[in-house]
Structure 1
Amino acid sequence: MTVFVHRLRVRYNECDQQGVVFNGHYLFYYDTAITELWRDRVGPYQETVSRGFDIVVAEATLRYRSAARFDELVDIAMPVAHLGTTSMIVRPEFRVGDRLVADGEIRHVFVDPSTLVKKPMPDDLRAALSGSA
């Protein structure tokens, strides 16, 4: 299975006074991309929650390499780099064409949605996500 890629267009209000995407928006972009990865590989996210599983961000690291600007198309590659017992790591890459704009590592922990207590990842989700690297 190939790495999932989500494409979005930079909106004017996402840019700062220098005319580039404000750094905080990359986490919003990532959130959109993880939702679309989930929809593509697992199904609607709400179905996972209704089964008693949710994911929360435990750690996020982003490195800014160059600037994305208004109206550019940003492709967000979403390789799942690690699937642990209760966690997963995604190493997103944000690109405009061939130019690397930002990259990083986001660690999610699987939890019970009502208690937020860690719980093991179900086998069917592991199988669906393991092909995303």
Structure 2
Amino acid sequence: MTIASTDIQVRYAETDQMGVVHHSQYLIWCEIGRTKLINDLGFSYAKLEESGVLAPVTEANLSYNRAVRYGETVRVASWIEDYDKIRAVYGYAIYNEDEQLCVSGTTTHVIVDRESFRPRSMKKHLPEWHEVYEREKKQKEGSE
């Protein structure tokens, strides 16, 4: 199973008045991690969109375990949590410099046609992606 890893330096603009990262920023960090994962798997969000396909978030779930503060560096780990030919669920774990889990969660995505916004089957419209996502799903299931 592929797990992408991305380091992020916490910027002042990402924090609230207490110097703690605002909860909304974690979804942006998940996007950065997801993009890295997709690149590591040999694909590109930009090329996907150029082909007329979008991958909107249909669900997001995050659990906040530990505060992250301005000046820290975090590591975002990202992987394919689940896949069913229509939906891709990405998993995330965000760790602080001491490797303590700060945030964990998932986002669910469906690919859609850019013009009509109608869902598309990844198996039918993106067979290369489908093959890799199926492999990743099987590897994850085998590791559990």
TM-score by length of 2: 0.84
8 A Cα contact 1:42 1:125, kept in partner = no
Other structure's SS at 1:131 match? helix
Matches within 5 A, 1:107-126: 107-121=108-122, 122-126=126-130
Per residue, is there more helix in 1 or in 2? 2
CA RMSD of aligned residues (A): 1.7
1:74 is paired with a residue whose SS is strand
After superposing on structure 2, the runs of 4+ consecutive aligned residues of structure 1 that deviate more than 6 Å are: none
Between the aligned partners of 1:112 and 1:101, the Cα distance in structure 2 is 35
Query: Gaps (5+ residues) in structure 2?
Result: none
Shift of 1:43: 2.8
Specify the code of the residue in structure 2 equivalent to 1:52: G
Percent of counterpart pairs with the same letter? Answer: 26
AA paired with 1:113? Answer: R
**2:129 counterpart of 1:131:** no
Mapped to 2, the partners of 1:128 and 1:91 lie a distance apart of: 16
> 2-side partners of 1:37 and 1:2: how far apart?
8
CA contact (8 A) 2:5 2:77 kept: yes
Shift of 1:55: 0.6
Residue 94 (structure 1) aligned with residue 94 (structure 2): yes
- 28 and 118 in structure 1: CA distance in 2 versus 1, 3 angstrom threshold: same
Say how many residue pairs are matched.
Answer: 133
Distance 2:92 2:27 in 1: 10
1:26 maps to amino acid: Y
**Cα separation, 1, equivalents of 2:132 and 2:5:** 16
